[in-house]
Structure 1
Protein backbone atom coordinates (compact mmCIF):
# COMPACT_ATOMS: atom_id res chain seq x y z
CA UNK A 1 0.00 0.00 0.00
CA UNK A 2 1.27 3.48 -0.90
CA UNK A 3 2.59 5.26 2.20
CA UNK A 4 1.75 8.84 1.25
CA UNK A 5 -1.31 11.07 1.20
CA UNK A 6 -3.25 12.81 -1.58
CA UNK A 7 -5.28 15.98 -1.09
CA UNK A 8 -8.09 15.63 -3.64
CA UNK A 9 -9.52 19.14 -3.29
CA UNK A 10 -7.62 22.39 -2.67
CA UNK A 11 -7.58 25.94 -4.01
CA UNK A 12 -3.86 26.52 -4.31
CA UNK A 13 -3.20 29.70 -6.26
CA UNK A 14 -2.12 33.23 -5.35
CA UNK A 15 -5.62 34.74 -5.07
CA UNK A 16 -6.49 32.17 -2.38
CA UNK A 17 -3.26 32.80 -0.45
CA UNK A 18 -2.42 36.47 -1.07
CA UNK A 19 -0.06 36.66 1.92
CA UNK A 20 1.69 33.30 1.64
CA UNK A 21 4.01 32.18 -1.18
CA UNK A 22 2.68 29.04 -2.86
CA UNK A 23 6.20 27.58 -2.76
CA UNK A 24 6.14 27.65 1.06
CA UNK A 25 2.77 25.90 1.14
CA UNK A 26 4.04 23.19 -1.24
CA UNK A 27 7.16 22.68 0.88
CA UNK A 28 5.05 22.22 4.01
CA UNK A 29 2.81 19.77 2.15
CA UNK A 30 5.81 17.80 0.95
CA UNK A 31 7.19 17.65 4.50
CA UNK A 32 3.82 16.23 5.63
CA UNK A 33 4.11 13.40 3.07
CA UNK A 34 1.50 14.86 0.73
CA UNK A 35 2.63 13.79 -2.73
CA UNK A 36 -0.27 15.13 -4.82
CA UNK A 37 -2.65 18.08 -4.47
CA UNK A 38 -5.69 18.14 -6.75
CA UNK A 39 -5.92 21.85 -7.44
CA UNK A 40 -9.47 22.95 -8.32
CA UNK A 41 -10.69 26.22 -9.77
CA UNK A 42 -13.79 28.34 -9.29
CA UNK A 43 -13.30 30.53 -12.40
CA UNK A 44 -11.44 30.45 -15.71
CA UNK A 45 -8.92 32.87 -14.20
CA UNK A 46 -8.24 30.39 -11.38
CA UNK A 47 -7.83 27.55 -13.86
CA UNK A 48 -5.28 29.55 -15.85
CA UNK A 49 -3.31 30.28 -12.66
CA UNK A 50 -3.29 26.60 -11.76
CA UNK A 51 -1.75 25.66 -15.11
CA UNK A 52 0.74 28.51 -14.77
CA UNK A 53 1.82 27.09 -11.41
CA UNK A 54 2.14 23.61 -12.88
CA UNK A 55 4.54 25.04 -15.46
CA UNK A 56 6.27 27.62 -13.25
CA UNK A 57 10.02 27.31 -13.88
CA UNK A 58 10.76 29.11 -10.61
CA UNK A 59 9.45 26.06 -8.72
CA UNK A 60 11.53 22.92 -8.46
CA UNK A 61 10.44 19.86 -10.41
CA UNK A 62 9.58 18.06 -7.16
CA UNK A 63 7.19 20.85 -6.17
CA UNK A 64 5.57 21.23 -9.57
CA UNK A 65 4.84 17.52 -9.70
CA UNK A 66 2.72 17.84 -6.54
CA UNK A 67 0.26 20.11 -8.37
CA UNK A 68 -2.51 18.21 -10.18
CA UNK A 69 -4.60 20.65 -12.26
CA UNK A 70 -8.36 20.71 -12.55
CA UNK A 71 -10.65 23.26 -14.21
CA UNK A 72 -14.30 23.88 -13.45
CA UNK A 73 -16.86 26.62 -12.93
CA UNK A 74 -18.13 26.90 -9.36
CA UNK A 75 -21.93 27.29 -9.09
CA UNK A 76 -21.54 30.58 -7.18
CA UNK A 77 -19.73 33.38 -8.99
CA UNK A 78 -19.15 36.36 -6.68
CA UNK A 79 -18.47 39.11 -9.20
CA UNK A 80 -19.09 42.29 -7.22
CA UNK A 81 -22.34 41.55 -5.40
CA UNK A 82 -23.45 38.94 -7.91
CA UNK A 83 -23.74 35.20 -7.29
CA UNK A 84 -25.20 34.14 -10.61
CA UNK A 85 -23.40 32.15 -13.30
CA UNK A 86 -23.48 33.98 -16.63
CA UNK A 87 -23.66 32.34 -20.05
CA UNK A 88 -20.34 33.94 -20.98
CA UNK A 89 -18.64 32.48 -17.89
CA UNK A 90 -20.03 29.03 -18.62
CA UNK A 91 -19.04 29.10 -22.28
CA UNK A 92 -15.53 30.35 -21.45
CA UNK A 93 -14.98 27.51 -18.98
CA UNK A 94 -16.32 24.87 -21.34
CA UNK A 95 -13.98 26.11 -24.06
CA UNK A 96 -11.05 26.20 -21.65
CA UNK A 97 -11.65 22.59 -20.59
CA UNK A 98 -11.91 21.46 -24.21
CA UNK A 99 -8.67 23.24 -25.11
CA UNK A 100 -6.70 22.12 -22.05
CA UNK A 101 -8.20 18.66 -21.42
CA UNK A 102 -4.88 16.88 -22.00
CA UNK A 103 -3.28 18.93 -19.19
CA UNK A 104 -6.04 18.31 -16.66
CA UNK A 105 -6.56 15.41 -14.25
CA UNK A 106 -10.18 16.31 -13.50
CA UNK A 107 -13.04 18.79 -13.84
CA UNK A 108 -13.86 20.87 -10.79
CA UNK A 109 -14.97 22.58 -8.72
CA UNK A 110 -18.42 22.14 -10.24
CA UNK A 111 -21.87 21.40 -8.90
CA UNK A 112 -24.83 23.01 -7.18
CA UNK A 113 -25.24 25.49 -4.33
CA UNK A 114 -28.79 25.93 -3.07
CA UNK A 115 -27.87 27.76 0.12
CA UNK A 116 -30.87 30.09 0.71
CA UNK A 117 -28.86 33.27 1.28
CA UNK A 118 -26.79 32.58 -1.86
CA UNK A 119 -29.90 32.23 -4.00
CA UNK A 120 -31.50 35.29 -2.44
CA UNK A 121 -28.33 37.31 -3.05
CA UNK A 122 -28.44 36.35 -6.71
CA UNK A 123 -32.05 37.52 -6.93
CA UNK A 124 -31.34 40.78 -5.11
CA UNK A 125 -28.22 41.48 -7.21
CA UNK A 126 -30.00 40.93 -10.52
CA UNK A 127 -33.46 42.54 -10.16
CA UNK A 128 -33.64 43.34 -13.87
CA UNK A 129 -33.63 39.62 -14.68
CA UNK A 130 -36.68 38.95 -12.50
CA UNK A 131 -35.54 35.41 -11.71
CA UNK A 132 -37.18 33.07 -9.23
CA UNK A 133 -35.34 30.69 -6.90
CA UNK A 134 -36.36 27.75 -9.08
CA UNK A 135 -35.07 29.48 -12.20
CA UNK A 136 -31.71 30.08 -10.50
CA UNK A 137 -31.51 26.41 -9.59
CA UNK A 138 -32.31 25.51 -13.20
CA UNK A 139 -29.41 27.67 -14.44
CA UNK A 140 -27.02 25.92 -12.04
CA UNK A 141 -28.25 22.50 -13.17
CA UNK A 142 -27.77 23.41 -16.83
CA UNK A 143 -24.16 24.53 -16.31
CA UNK A 144 -23.49 21.46 -14.14
CA UNK A 145 -24.91 19.19 -16.86
CA UNK A 146 -22.63 20.77 -19.47
CA UNK A 147 -19.57 20.07 -17.33
CA UNK A 148 -20.74 16.51 -16.62
CA UNK A 149 -20.94 16.00 -20.39
CA UNK A 150 -17.31 17.13 -20.78
CA UNK A 151 -16.22 14.77 -18.02
CA UNK A 152 -17.69 11.92 -20.01
CA UNK A 153 -16.26 13.16 -23.31
CA UNK A 154 -12.71 13.43 -21.96
CA UNK A 155 -12.96 10.69 -19.29
CA UNK A 156 -12.08 13.16 -16.54
CA UNK A 157 -13.38 12.77 -12.96
CA UNK A 158 -15.71 15.37 -11.49
CA UNK A 159 -14.88 17.24 -8.26
CA UNK A 160 -18.34 18.19 -7.00
CA UNK A 161 -19.62 20.99 -4.75
CA UNK A 162 -23.11 20.38 -3.34
CA UNK A 163 -23.77 22.81 -0.49
CA UNK A 164 -27.37 22.55 0.69
CA UNK A 165 -27.95 20.51 -2.47
CA UNK A 166 -26.52 17.08 -1.73
CA UNK A 167 -29.29 14.86 -3.03
CA UNK A 168 -30.06 17.25 -5.90
CA UNK A 169 -26.45 17.05 -7.08
CA UNK A 170 -26.48 13.26 -6.80
CA UNK A 171 -29.69 13.15 -8.82
CA UNK A 172 -28.08 15.30 -11.55
CA UNK A 173 -25.02 13.09 -11.64
CA UNK A 174 -27.20 10.00 -11.97
CA UNK A 175 -29.52 11.52 -14.57
CA UNK A 176 -26.66 12.69 -16.79
CA UNK A 177 -24.70 9.45 -16.50
CA UNK A 178 -21.67 10.63 -14.53
CA UNK A 179 -19.24 7.81 -13.80
CA UNK A 180 -16.20 9.19 -11.97
CA UNK A 181 -17.11 11.46 -9.08
CA UNK A 182 -15.85 12.80 -5.76
CA UNK A 183 -18.38 14.62 -3.61
CA UNK A 184 -16.29 17.27 -1.90
CA UNK A 185 -17.12 18.11 1.76
CA UNK A 186 -20.59 16.60 1.36
CA UNK A 187 -23.00 18.25 3.81
CA UNK A 188 -26.07 16.14 3.04
CA UNK A 189 -27.69 13.33 4.95
CA UNK A 190 -25.98 9.95 5.26
CA UNK A 191 -28.89 8.23 3.50
CA UNK A 192 -28.16 10.25 0.38
CA UNK A 193 -24.42 9.67 0.66
CA UNK A 194 -25.11 5.93 0.69
CA UNK A 195 -26.92 6.31 -2.63
CA UNK A 196 -23.74 7.94 -3.93
CA UNK A 197 -21.75 4.96 -2.71
CA UNK A 198 -24.12 2.66 -4.58
CA UNK A 199 -23.29 4.63 -7.74
CA UNK A 200 -19.57 4.14 -7.10
CA UNK A 201 -18.87 7.72 -6.03
CA UNK A 202 -16.28 8.89 -3.50
CA UNK A 203 -16.61 11.33 -0.59
CA UNK A 204 -13.68 13.49 0.49
CA UNK A 205 -13.19 14.51 4.10
CA UNK A 206 -11.71 17.88 5.18
CA UNK A 207 -9.88 18.70 8.46
CA UNK A 208 -13.00 20.53 9.65
CA UNK A 209 -14.32 17.06 10.51
CA UNK A 210 -12.95 17.58 14.03
CA UNK A 211 -15.64 20.25 14.57
CA UNK A 212 -18.39 18.74 12.40
CA UNK A 213 -20.66 16.02 13.85
CA UNK A 214 -22.21 15.67 10.37
CA UNK A 215 -18.83 14.79 8.80
CA UNK A 216 -18.11 12.42 11.69
CA UNK A 217 -21.39 10.58 11.04
CA UNK A 218 -20.55 10.45 7.34
CA UNK A 219 -17.17 8.82 7.98
CA UNK A 220 -18.72 6.33 10.39
CA UNK A 221 -21.23 5.17 7.77
CA UNK A 222 -19.31 5.38 4.47
CA UNK A 223 -16.97 2.46 3.64
CA UNK A 224 -13.25 3.26 3.66
CA UNK A 225 -13.20 2.13 0.02
CA UNK A 226 -15.27 5.22 -0.86
CA UNK A 227 -13.43 7.80 1.24
CA UNK A 228 -10.80 10.32 0.15
CA UNK A 229 -8.90 13.09 1.92
CA UNK A 230 -9.17 16.80 1.14
CA UNK A 231 -8.39 20.14 2.74
CA UNK A 232 -10.37 22.62 0.61
CA UNK A 233 -7.48 24.98 1.38
CA UNK A 234 -7.72 27.75 2.40
CA UNK A 235 -11.18 26.87 3.82
CA UNK A 236 -12.50 24.03 6.03
CA UNK A 237 -9.51 23.85 8.35
CA UNK A 238 -9.47 22.55 11.91
CA UNK A 239 -10.06 26.10 13.17
CA UNK A 240 -12.87 28.17 11.74
CA UNK A 241 -11.71 31.37 10.07
CA UNK A 242 -8.03 30.37 9.98
CA UNK A 243 -6.32 29.68 6.64
CA UNK A 244 -6.01 25.97 5.97
CA UNK A 245 -3.18 24.30 4.01
CA UNK A 246 -2.71 20.86 2.45
CA UNK A 247 -0.34 19.77 5.22
CA UNK A 248 -3.34 19.66 7.58
CA UNK A 249 -4.70 16.69 5.66
CA UNK A 250 -3.13 14.51 8.34
CA UNK A 251 -5.97 15.68 10.61
CA UNK A 252 -8.54 14.21 8.22
CA UNK A 253 -6.60 10.94 8.12
CA UNK A 254 -6.23 10.79 11.90
CA UNK A 255 -9.93 11.43 12.47
CA UNK A 256 -10.91 8.69 10.02
CA UNK A 257 -8.57 6.34 11.88
CA UNK A 258 -10.18 7.29 15.20
CA UNK A 259 -13.81 7.06 14.04
CA UNK A 260 -13.39 3.78 12.18
CA UNK A 261 -11.13 2.35 14.90
CA UNK A 262 -8.45 1.37 12.42
CA UNK A 263 -4.72 2.06 12.32
CA UNK A 264 -3.42 5.20 10.65
CA UNK A 265 -1.64 2.95 8.14
CA UNK A 266 -4.99 1.54 7.02
CA UNK A 267 -6.14 5.06 6.12
CA UNK A 268 -3.52 5.03 3.35
CA UNK A 269 -6.25 3.11 1.52
CA UNK A 270 -7.55 6.59 0.63
CA UNK A 271 -4.43 7.08 -1.50
CA UNK A 272 -5.24 3.96 -3.50
CA UNK A 273 -8.82 5.21 -3.79
CA UNK A 274 -7.56 8.53 -5.17
CA UNK A 275 -5.53 6.73 -7.81
CA UNK A 276 -8.57 4.68 -8.78
CA UNK A 277 -10.54 7.86 -9.38
CA UNK A 278 -7.85 10.22 -10.69
CA UNK A 279 -6.03 7.87 -13.03
CA UNK A 280 -3.80 10.64 -14.41
CA UNK A 281 -2.13 11.22 -11.03
CA UNK A 282 1.30 9.60 -10.97
CA UNK A 283 2.04 6.91 -8.41
CA UNK A 284 4.83 7.84 -5.98
CA UNK A 285 6.20 4.55 -4.78
Structure 2
Protein backbone atom coordinates (compact mmCIF):
# COMPACT_ATOMS: atom_id res chain seq x y z
CA UNK A 1 0.00 0.00 0.00
CA UNK A 2 1.50 3.35 -1.03
CA UNK A 3 0.52 7.00 -1.23
CA UNK A 4 1.28 9.64 -3.79
CA UNK A 5 2.99 12.45 -1.88
CA UNK A 6 5.46 12.54 0.99
CA UNK A 7 4.09 12.60 4.54
CA UNK A 8 5.39 13.11 8.07
CA UNK A 9 4.99 10.82 11.08
CA UNK A 10 5.10 13.24 14.04
CA UNK A 11 5.30 10.63 16.82
CA UNK A 12 7.15 7.30 16.80
CA UNK A 13 9.44 5.43 19.19
CA UNK A 14 12.19 4.77 16.70
CA UNK A 15 15.15 3.22 18.50
CA UNK A 16 16.48 -0.32 18.97
CA UNK A 17 14.85 -1.02 22.36
CA UNK A 18 11.42 -0.49 20.77
CA UNK A 19 12.19 -2.95 17.98
CA UNK A 20 14.52 -5.56 19.50
CA UNK A 21 13.94 -8.05 16.69
CA UNK A 22 14.10 -5.65 13.75
CA UNK A 23 16.71 -3.46 12.11
CA UNK A 24 15.92 0.25 12.21
CA UNK A 25 17.29 0.79 8.70
CA UNK A 26 14.84 -1.79 7.32
CA UNK A 27 11.98 -0.08 9.16
CA UNK A 28 13.01 3.22 7.57
CA UNK A 29 13.23 1.64 4.12
CA UNK A 30 9.68 0.31 4.48
CA UNK A 31 8.55 3.80 5.54
CA UNK A 32 10.39 5.39 2.63
CA UNK A 33 8.69 2.95 0.24
CA UNK A 34 5.28 4.41 1.15
CA UNK A 35 6.63 7.98 0.87
CA UNK A 36 7.16 8.78 4.54
CA UNK A 37 9.70 11.60 4.35
CA UNK A 38 10.31 12.27 8.06
CA UNK A 39 9.74 10.46 11.34
CA UNK A 40 9.70 12.52 14.52
CA UNK A 41 11.34 10.17 17.02
CA UNK A 42 10.22 10.72 20.63
CA UNK A 43 11.87 9.39 23.76
CA UNK A 44 10.49 8.05 27.02
CA UNK A 45 13.79 8.20 28.92
CA UNK A 46 17.21 9.80 28.69
CA UNK A 47 18.57 6.49 27.39
CA UNK A 48 16.00 6.53 24.57
CA UNK A 49 16.96 10.09 23.64
CA UNK A 50 20.61 9.10 23.45
CA UNK A 51 19.65 6.11 21.27
CA UNK A 52 17.89 8.40 18.80
CA UNK A 53 21.03 10.49 18.41
CA UNK A 54 23.15 7.37 18.11
CA UNK A 55 20.98 6.34 15.13
CA UNK A 56 21.41 9.78 13.57
CA UNK A 57 25.18 9.25 13.74
CA UNK A 58 25.27 5.57 12.79
CA UNK A 59 27.35 5.46 9.61
CA UNK A 60 26.17 1.92 8.87
CA UNK A 61 22.76 3.41 8.06
CA UNK A 62 22.61 5.21 4.69
CA UNK A 63 22.51 8.99 4.97
CA UNK A 64 19.12 9.35 3.27
CA UNK A 65 17.59 7.07 5.92
CA UNK A 66 19.30 8.79 8.84
CA UNK A 67 18.03 12.13 7.58
CA UNK A 68 14.47 10.84 7.92
CA UNK A 69 14.90 10.76 11.72
CA UNK A 70 13.88 14.03 13.40
CA UNK A 71 14.75 13.85 17.12
CA UNK A 72 12.73 14.86 20.15
CA UNK A 73 13.81 14.31 23.76
CA UNK A 74 11.61 14.16 26.81
CA UNK A 75 10.67 12.25 29.96
CA UNK A 76 7.49 10.17 29.64
CA UNK A 77 5.22 10.02 32.72
CA UNK A 78 5.31 6.20 32.78
CA UNK A 79 8.47 4.12 33.03
CA UNK A 80 8.83 0.98 30.93
CA UNK A 81 9.65 -1.12 33.98
CA UNK A 82 6.25 -0.58 35.57
CA UNK A 83 7.49 1.36 38.59
CA UNK A 84 5.72 4.54 37.61
CA UNK A 85 6.49 8.22 38.12
CA UNK A 86 8.30 8.01 41.44
CA UNK A 87 11.53 6.73 39.92
CA UNK A 88 11.41 9.60 37.45
CA UNK A 89 12.09 12.23 40.09
CA UNK A 90 15.83 11.59 39.97
CA UNK A 91 15.78 11.51 36.16
CA UNK A 92 14.35 14.97 35.53
CA UNK A 93 17.56 16.96 35.78
CA UNK A 94 19.35 14.55 33.44
CA UNK A 95 16.81 14.86 30.65
CA UNK A 96 16.55 18.64 31.07
CA UNK A 97 20.32 19.02 30.76
CA UNK A 98 20.36 16.73 27.72
CA UNK A 99 17.63 18.80 26.04
CA UNK A 100 19.59 21.99 26.67
CA UNK A 101 22.78 20.39 25.35
CA UNK A 102 21.09 19.13 22.18
CA UNK A 103 18.61 21.99 21.77
CA UNK A 104 19.94 23.09 18.38
CA UNK A 105 19.49 19.57 16.99
CA UNK A 106 16.03 18.83 18.41
CA UNK A 107 12.77 19.45 16.57
CA UNK A 108 10.76 19.26 19.79
CA UNK A 109 10.44 18.08 23.40
CA UNK A 110 8.63 14.80 23.97
CA UNK A 111 7.17 12.46 24.83
CA UNK A 112 6.01 14.36 27.92
CA UNK A 113 2.76 14.74 29.80
CA UNK A 114 0.66 12.96 32.40
CA UNK A 115 -0.95 9.52 32.68
CA UNK A 116 -3.70 8.94 35.26
CA UNK A 117 -4.71 5.47 34.08
CA UNK A 118 -5.79 3.64 37.28
CA UNK A 119 -3.49 0.64 36.81
CA UNK A 120 -0.54 2.96 36.18
CA UNK A 121 -1.08 4.74 39.49
CA UNK A 122 -1.75 1.49 41.35
CA UNK A 123 1.44 -0.06 39.96
CA UNK A 124 3.45 2.91 41.18
CA UNK A 125 1.99 2.69 44.67
CA UNK A 126 2.62 -1.06 44.83
CA UNK A 127 6.18 -0.66 43.53
CA UNK A 128 7.08 1.79 46.30
CA UNK A 129 5.11 0.85 49.44
CA UNK A 130 7.85 2.29 51.64
CA UNK A 131 7.06 5.78 50.37
CA UNK A 132 3.40 5.58 51.42
CA UNK A 133 2.32 7.62 48.41
CA UNK A 134 -1.29 8.24 47.44
CA UNK A 135 -2.69 8.56 43.92
CA UNK A 136 -2.87 12.32 44.45
CA UNK A 137 0.82 12.34 45.39
CA UNK A 138 1.67 10.54 42.15
CA UNK A 139 -0.43 12.91 40.08
CA UNK A 140 1.35 15.83 41.71
CA UNK A 141 4.76 14.31 40.88
CA UNK A 142 3.75 13.83 37.24
CA UNK A 143 2.46 17.38 37.08
CA UNK A 144 5.69 18.82 38.52
CA UNK A 145 7.81 16.91 36.01
CA UNK A 146 5.54 18.03 33.17
CA UNK A 147 5.65 21.68 34.26
CA UNK A 148 9.44 21.71 34.20
CA UNK A 149 9.45 20.40 30.63
CA UNK A 150 6.80 22.94 29.58
CA UNK A 151 8.99 25.71 31.00
CA UNK A 152 12.00 24.45 29.06
CA UNK A 153 9.98 24.28 25.85
CA UNK A 154 9.14 27.95 26.26
CA UNK A 155 12.73 28.85 27.08
CA UNK A 156 14.06 27.05 23.99
CA UNK A 157 11.04 27.78 21.76
CA UNK A 158 10.54 24.07 21.00
CA UNK A 159 7.14 22.40 20.48
CA UNK A 160 5.80 19.81 22.92
CA UNK A 161 4.84 16.25 21.93
CA UNK A 162 2.30 15.41 24.64
CA UNK A 163 0.95 12.22 26.25
CA UNK A 164 -2.36 12.56 28.13
CA UNK A 165 -3.84 9.10 28.69
CA UNK A 166 -6.79 9.26 31.11
CA UNK A 167 -5.67 12.80 31.92
CA UNK A 168 -6.78 14.82 28.90
CA UNK A 169 -8.40 17.83 30.52
CA UNK A 170 -5.82 17.93 33.34
CA UNK A 171 -3.04 18.08 30.76
CA UNK A 172 -4.81 20.76 28.74
CA UNK A 173 -5.37 22.82 31.89
CA UNK A 174 -1.68 22.49 32.77
CA UNK A 175 -0.59 23.52 29.28
CA UNK A 176 -2.91 26.55 29.47
CA UNK A 177 -1.91 27.54 33.00
CA UNK A 178 1.81 27.44 32.22
CA UNK A 179 1.61 29.21 28.88
CA UNK A 180 2.44 26.43 26.42
CA UNK A 181 2.10 27.68 22.86
CA UNK A 182 3.27 24.95 20.47
CA UNK A 183 1.68 21.60 21.22
CA UNK A 184 0.64 18.33 19.61
CA UNK A 185 -1.65 16.12 21.68
CA UNK A 186 -0.58 12.61 20.71
CA UNK A 187 -3.23 9.85 20.48
CA UNK A 188 -5.66 11.90 22.57
CA UNK A 189 -8.20 9.67 24.32
CA UNK A 190 -10.12 12.32 26.23
CA UNK A 191 -13.61 13.61 25.67
CA UNK A 192 -14.37 15.52 22.48
CA UNK A 193 -15.34 18.65 24.42
CA UNK A 194 -11.80 18.80 25.81
CA UNK A 195 -10.28 18.23 22.38
CA UNK A 196 -12.28 21.20 21.10
CA UNK A 197 -10.84 23.25 23.94
CA UNK A 198 -7.38 22.25 22.73
CA UNK A 199 -8.24 23.40 19.22
CA UNK A 200 -9.34 26.75 20.64
CA UNK A 201 -5.89 27.04 22.23
CA UNK A 202 -4.29 26.42 18.83
CA UNK A 203 -3.05 22.91 19.60
CA UNK A 204 -2.74 20.01 17.16
CA UNK A 205 -3.94 16.42 17.51
CA UNK A 206 -2.05 13.55 15.89
CA UNK A 207 -3.98 10.51 14.70
CA UNK A 208 -2.50 6.99 14.95
CA UNK A 209 -3.42 4.01 12.71
CA UNK A 210 -5.64 2.54 15.43
CA UNK A 211 -8.21 5.04 14.18
CA UNK A 212 -9.33 2.35 11.71
CA UNK A 213 -11.01 0.39 14.52
CA UNK A 214 -11.45 2.77 17.47
CA UNK A 215 -14.72 4.77 17.49
CA UNK A 216 -13.23 7.31 19.93
CA UNK A 217 -10.45 8.21 17.49
CA UNK A 218 -12.94 8.31 14.62
CA UNK A 219 -15.11 10.78 16.56
CA UNK A 220 -11.99 12.83 17.30
CA UNK A 221 -11.17 13.08 13.59
CA UNK A 222 -14.74 14.06 12.84
CA UNK A 223 -14.70 16.83 15.47
CA UNK A 224 -11.25 18.32 14.84
CA UNK A 225 -10.64 20.63 11.85
CA UNK A 226 -8.11 19.30 9.33
CA UNK A 227 -6.08 22.43 10.05
CA UNK A 228 -5.39 21.00 13.53
CA UNK A 229 -4.69 17.37 12.56
CA UNK A 230 -1.30 15.68 12.26
CA UNK A 231 -0.32 12.11 11.39
CA UNK A 232 1.43 9.71 13.74
CA UNK A 233 2.03 6.01 14.22
CA UNK A 234 3.30 5.81 17.83
CA UNK A 235 5.32 2.87 16.53
CA UNK A 236 5.59 0.19 17.82
CA UNK A 237 2.17 0.72 19.49
CA UNK A 238 -1.31 1.81 18.29
CA UNK A 239 -1.17 0.07 14.92
CA UNK A 240 -4.06 -0.78 12.59
CA UNK A 241 -4.23 -4.29 14.03
CA UNK A 242 -4.43 -4.61 17.80
CA UNK A 243 -1.54 -6.51 19.36
CA UNK A 244 0.70 -6.43 16.28
CA UNK A 245 3.96 -4.43 16.07
CA UNK A 246 3.37 -1.10 14.37
CA UNK A 247 5.86 0.67 12.08
CA UNK A 248 5.92 4.13 10.48
CA UNK A 249 4.81 2.71 7.12
CA UNK A 250 1.37 2.06 8.63
CA UNK A 251 0.73 5.81 8.59
CA UNK A 252 -1.13 5.15 5.34
CA UNK A 253 -4.00 3.74 7.44
CA UNK A 254 -4.32 7.03 9.32
CA UNK A 255 -4.37 8.97 6.06
CA UNK A 256 -7.02 6.86 4.39
CA UNK A 257 -9.28 6.76 7.44
CA UNK A 258 -9.09 10.53 7.91
CA UNK A 259 -9.99 10.97 4.25
CA UNK A 260 -12.92 8.59 4.63
CA UNK A 261 -14.26 10.28 7.77
CA UNK A 262 -13.81 13.81 6.42
CA UNK A 263 -15.04 12.78 2.95
CA UNK A 264 -12.11 14.51 1.30
CA UNK A 265 -9.38 13.34 -1.13
CA UNK A 266 -6.35 11.54 0.29
CA UNK A 267 -4.10 14.16 -1.35
CA UNK A 268 -5.82 16.88 0.65
CA UNK A 269 -5.16 15.03 3.91
CA UNK A 270 -1.50 14.65 2.97
CA UNK A 271 -1.05 18.25 1.86
CA UNK A 272 -2.72 19.80 4.91
CA UNK A 273 -1.17 17.54 7.54
CA UNK A 274 2.29 18.06 6.05
CA UNK A 275 1.81 21.82 6.12
CA UNK A 276 0.58 21.52 9.71
CA UNK A 277 3.69 19.52 10.64
CA UNK A 278 6.00 22.14 9.19
CA UNK A 279 4.11 24.87 11.01
CA UNK A 280 4.41 23.15 14.40
CA UNK A 281 7.88 21.65 13.79
CA UNK A 282 9.68 24.23 11.63
CA UNK A 283 13.02 22.46 12.05
CA UNK A 284 11.86 19.36 10.17
CA UNK A 285 13.69 19.06 6.87
CA UNK A 286 11.42 20.45 4.18
CA UNK A 287 10.12 18.43 1.28
CA UNK A 288 8.20 19.65 -1.75
CA UNK A 289 4.42 19.42 -1.40
CA UNK A 290 1.73 20.39 -3.85
Partner of 2:146: 144
State how far apart, in whole Å, the 2-side matches of 1:54 and 1:144 are. 27
TM-score by length of 2: 0.96
State how far apart, in whole Å, the 1-side matches of 2:91 and 2:186 are. 22
Partner of 1:284: 287
Q: 2:273 aligned with 1:270, yes or no?
A: yes
**Which SS does the other structure have where 2:205 is aligned?**
strand
State how far apart, in whole Å, the 1-side matches of 2:144 and 2:84 are. 16
CA drift at 1:22: 0.3
Q: 2:247 aligned with 1:245, yes or no?
A: yes
Q: Where do 1:25-64 residues align within 5 Å?
A: 25-64=27-66
- Paired residues of 1:105 and 1:157 also in contact (CA < 8 A): yes
Partner of 1:204: 206
Partner of 1:224: 226
State how far apart, in whole Å, the 1-side matches of 2:45 and 2:164 are. 17
- Paired residues of 1:227 and 1:273 also in contact (CA < 8 A): yes
Partner of 1:94: 96
- Paired residues of 1:205 and 1:227 also in contact (CA < 8 A): yes
Q: 2:79 aligned with 1:77, yes or no?
A: yes
CA drift at 1:245: 0.4
State how far apart, in whole Å, the 1-side matches of 2:69 and 2:23 are. 15
State how far apart, in whole Å, the 2-side matches of 1:232 and 1:224 are. 20
CA drift at 1:96: 0.9
CA drift at 1:101: 0.8
State how far apart, in whole Å, the 2-side matches of 1:51 and 1:12 are. 11
1:75-116 deviation per Cα after TM superposition (whole angstroms, max 9, x unaligned): 01133x411243211111111111111111000000000000
Count of aligned positions = 283
Partner of 1:24: 26
> Segments of 4+ in structure 1 off by > 4 A?
none
State how far apart, in whole Å, the 2-side matches of 1:187 and 1:29 are. 26
- Paired residues of 1:78 and 1:84 also in contact (CA < 8 A): no
Partner of 2:237: 235
- Structure 1: any 5+ residue segments left out of the alignment? none
Partner of 2:259: 257
State how far apart, in whole Å, the 1-side matches of 2:18 and 2:79 are. 15
TM-score by length of 1: 0.98
CA change 1:282–1:78 in 2 (3 A) is closer
**Which shows bigger deviation, 238-247 or 81-90?**
81-90
**Which shows bigger deviation, 93-102 or 26-35?**
93-102
State how far apart, in whole Å, the 1-side matches of 2:241 and 2:91 are. 33
Partner of 1:14: 16
Partner of 1:108: 110
State how far apart, in whole Å, the 2-side matches of 1:250 and 1:47 are. 26
Aligned Cα root-mean-square deviation (Å): 1.0
